[in-house]
Homo-oligomer: A and B are copies of this chain.
């Protein structure tokens, strides 16, 4: 990674890391489903392959969006946690969810959740970020 950036545009810099089919789905699973382990990510509805998952987790770690650590109590389990930069992607997920909810035929229940988060404005997001910090940042 870190092939010299193509431009200093903030939108471009973001897309160079999270601009693909899978990355934000991994973050979504961490944020909304509390997933922390490799196998959990594999089991999402969209069906990411283990190869792609491993690669994305590594670059997300290199880019400072999540951390990897071995759970000492549980032996083999590797734990993935969000950093502050990762938690800061929550507004991106929220706007993306709001758009999908409005303009595509989304699953009803999930669409309602997305709408609520977006409608709450900054306050709802900040509250959720605080909760995520407590859970992820050790």
Contact = CB atoms under 8 A, between A and B. Distances in A.
Interface residues on A, range: 35 or more
A15 interface: yes
A15 B24 contact: yes
Contacts of A24: 11, 15, 19
Contacts of A12: 25, 45-46, 100
Contacts of A21: 15-16, 19-20
Interface stretch (A34-42, A51-59, A74-82, A90-98): A90-98
Given A7-B46, A88-B103, A103-B85, A97 B19 contact: no
Given A9-B106, A15-B25, A92-B96, 8 more contacts: A7-B45, A8-B107, A10-B98, A10-B99, A14-B96, A14-B99, A14-B104, A91-B99
9 contacts: A7-B107, A9-B28, A12-B46, A12-B100, A20-B21, A85-B103, A88-B99, A88-B103, A92-B95
Interface of A: 6-17, 19-22, 24-25, 28, 44-47, 64, 85, 88-89, 91-107, 110-111, 114, 121-122
